[in-house]
Structure formats: structure tokens, C-alpha cells
Amino acid sequence: MTIEKNNWTLEEKIGQLFCIGFDGEEMNEAVLTMIREKHVGNVILFSRNITSADQVRKLTDSLKEEGSRKSPLFVAIDQENGIVNRIPRDEANFPGARALGYIGDTQFTKEISVATASLLREFGIDMNLAPVLDVNSNRSNPVIGLRAFGEDKHTVMEHGVAFMEGHESQGVVACAKHFPGHGDTSTDSHLGIPVVDKSYSDLLKTDIPPFRKVIVEGCSALIISHVIYPALGEEKLPATLSPKVINEFLRETLGFDGVVVTDCLEMKAVSDNDTPKAAVQAFLAGADIMVISHTFEKQKQAIELLLQKVQQGEITEARINESFRRVMEMKSNYSVLKRSEVEKDKEKLEEEAYSRSLFINVPQGFIPAKRNNHVHVLRYLKSQGSKAEDQNDQHLYFAASKVTVTESISSERVAEDADVTILVTDAGYDDETAQKLISTLSKKEKPLLVIAIRTPYILDNLPDTIGAVATFNPSPNHVERVFREVVQKIFDY
């Protein structure tokens, strides 16, 4: 499709500066209204919109058919892989960033990225809101964790560039996030306003390098975080709404002239400011595409409010043209003309990824269980995950006998009855209950194996006598696969 650069009305230009979400597996009246009457040029899909490969192809085809004849409607998605996985897992079941960071092979990260992007292109998806370039320096981080490539800026930088290059090779926009960094927060921006209260020099040393690197390498789009950064001169406003962060720091200091995309403006960190007003404020701060993922009324009001501000002379049409130019350049560079076939053997790539990302450390003298011995599996599952995660993965199942640890169940009694105890947990490193539980179980002088199914930090301070396994992925099918492999490798079943 040839993009028409002239003869756009003001209303059409403004529509290209918004990205909206909707409910359902087919187009509904709300999204049709936004595309036809408000000229929206970008749509974001979630798990709620996707059930199968055929269904999502039909959906994206119908959305693009309704889009402007002057420029393609872009379809975006959060397909980070791992715990943020919008596509059904029988279609895409690749490991997330933290697993790839653990593997430590940037060429393999690029192969995973190529396979992911190939699949997205096949489904008619043009933009992936990934990779996550946050350096997860705060181990208590409630929203990043496994979504980051690691705790080291070099690891994040190298794998982030590899992921971006893999997507670019398939004609899919890689929209890196969450600038200028969400890795040192202790608040989930879906639920509140995080503050990163570190010095300017520390930001430049730790959080900024991955973003600076992808900018130098030609990154087309970045997502701005809903985080307050006092060191960047902003005491009250999250980065999304701050001209000091976007216009001054990102544009002028770092020299980024690509597309700036907001995180969803219905998240708690900014929605208290009123979503339509927040959309205008983000635009004034320097954003190019405002994302409103859920509510039709807020989407409609935001577009109308931005148009009103221009008509009243509070915002110049030159400012509209500035963002419009960036969006059109991105679409011109990445427009999907035809779907490509998936070149890699997806199943083999998935299998290799998961086998390479499994961490197993069994101490010297660990006693293997025999078939006639009692192996008790205890679950201490605390986390419900961030709102960013795929809600289809919230329930975990294990093909083994198991006991759920609660206040009313004595883990000590369970350990007494067992020849070997396996503790499956998603606890963070500072979870006192998990630490006490491990301490109690370890005193029984019987083999104890701890399987960390989310971040591996709970394993850091384990005594040498305790077996440790890290999965880097709490999704049900992966945990079951890991469980079977661990039983086979360690217990010789």
C-alpha cells in the first residue's frame, strides 16, 4: 500500500496519533466508529481478542480493510513472550526475556525474535510493544522481573539490540520500553505511581544505556513509562506527561527522532489525571501515539479534546504535523505488504529454548528418590502476577502428588512424612514466609529441592545442601514440562 503524504484533514491526522483497544474477537461497533468516524490509525490487540491463528488473521484483515485508504492501519500487540504472551501458546510459546538473558546467546535471542516477528507478520500484526529494556536492578520489582533480560545493563543492552534486529528483519516494528527505565521501581504502574529516586549520574550509568544503544542502532519507536524521575527535573509528573523527560531529555539530549508511544493512559499511574486530559498532556510533552486500551468513551473524548485544543489555538497544527510525520515515516518503513511464511521450525526452537534456559543445581551427595519412596510436592504460590501478564496463565497445575502450604498445614509434618520434598514457589527473594518454610524443611536432614518458577532470587542464599531449579517461566505447560524433566534427571524416574 502506497502511503499518501498530502491531502490529509486535521481530523485524519489526529486519528493517526492514537492507538485503541477493544473487547471481543471480532470488530464491534465501538472500534468501527473509532476507525470510520475518528480516523484512528492504530489498534492494539490483547489475549481477549485472540483465540486462534485463523481467527486473528480474519480480525486483522477486517481491521485493515476498514482503515484509511491513505495509510495502512497498524495493529500492535504486547508479545514479549514468556509471561506476557497474547497469542495462544499452541501458536507461540517462546521463553521471555529473563530466560534468554540467562541463556546468554544473543544470536539465539535474535532467532527467537525472528520467529516471533514472522508469526506476527503472518497474523497481520505490524508493531510489537517489545523488547523490555529495563534493567531489573530492584529485585522486589512487582511489574518487571522476568520481563527484563537481567540485572546487568550490558546483558539488557546486547539482547535488546538482538531482539530489535530480529523484528526489523521481518518488517515488524520493535517498540522498546519503558523509557527511561522501570527496573528500579517497587510499585506497579498499573496500580499506582512509581518513583525512581536515584541520581542523574546513576540513571545515566545503569538505566539509560540500553535505550541509548537502540537509539544509536536506529530504533523506530519507544514506549514512555508512567514513572516519576526527580533526577530528570520532574518532581510530580510521570515521564509520560513530562516535557522535561520526553522533549528535553529523550529528544534533545539523546537525539531520538523516532515515534514516542505512551504506555496505556488508563493505567492507574496516569488515569487519576483523567484519561482524555492525560492524552493531551502526553502529546504536549512530546508523545506521538497515545494508547488508550480499553474504554470507548475515553478514546472518543481524548481525540475530540485534542482536536478542540487545536481548533481553539491552544495547540498548533505544526505540532500535529510533527508527530504525524514521524508516524507516517514509521508506517512507510514497516508497512506489511504481504505475509511471510514462518521459516524456522517453531517447535524445535521452543524446545531448544526451554531446555537451555532451565537452571538445575543439585548438591554433591543429593539422595535420589526411588520409585517406592514418598516424594511430596509443596506449593507456596503467592504472586498473582502483574496486570501486564497474560491472565490465561494464572493457574498452575502439576502432574504429581502435591500439598498446598497454608497457615493451617504444617510443612514440618509434611516433611516428616516424605523421603524427598520438592517446594515449588513463585516467592521473591525477600519473602519471609518462603524463607522460613525453606529453613524448616532443610532441618529435616532429608533431600529438599526448591523450584523457583518466577524470578530466581529466592535461590540466591540457599545452603549448599539444598537442590535448586529455576524455570524463568510460571506458565502451566512450562512448569509441567520442567517438573517432568527434573524428576527424570534428578530422581531417575
266-268-270 Cα angle (round to 5)? 70
Contacts of 430 (CB under 8 A, 6+ apart): 139, 140
The rounded distance, in Å, linking the Cα atoms of 490 and 365 is 12
343 burial type by CB count under 10 A (0-12 exposed, 13-18 middle, 19+ buried): exposed
Give the residue from 332, 221, 322, 333 showing the smallest Cα distance to 13.
322
The rounded distance, in Å, linking the Cα atoms of 304 and 416 is 67
Q: b/e per residue, 120-132, with b = 16+ CB within 10 A?
A: bbbbbbbbbbbbb
What is the distance, to the nearest Å, from the Cα of residue 298 to the centroid of all Cα atoms in its chain? 24
Asked if 193 and 228 touch (Cβ cutoff 8 Å), the reply is yes
Determine whether 23 is an active site residue: no
The rounded distance, in Å, linking the Cα atoms of 80 and 401 is 33
The one catalytic residue in 182, 190, 226, 376 is 190
List the alpha helices (DSSP H) in 317-385.
Answer: 317-334, 346-356
Contacts of 453 (CB under 8 A, 6+ apart): 396, 424, 425, 426, 471, 473, 474, 479, 482
Asked if 89 and 390 touch (Cβ cutoff 8 Å), the reply is no
314 burial type by CB count under 10 A (0-12 exposed, 13-18 middle, 19+ buried): exposed
Determine whether 190 is an active site residue: yes
The rounded distance, in Å, linking the Cα atoms of 143 and 152 is 17
The rounded distance, in Å, linking the Cα atoms of 467 and 448 is 6
Residue with cell 489526529: 14
Asked if 264 and 292 touch (Cβ cutoff 8 Å), the reply is yes
The one catalytic residue in 134, 207, 263, 431 is 263
Give the residue from 152, 149, 76 showing the smallest Cα distance to 109.
149
Question: Which residues does the annotation mark as catalytic?
Answer: 190, 263
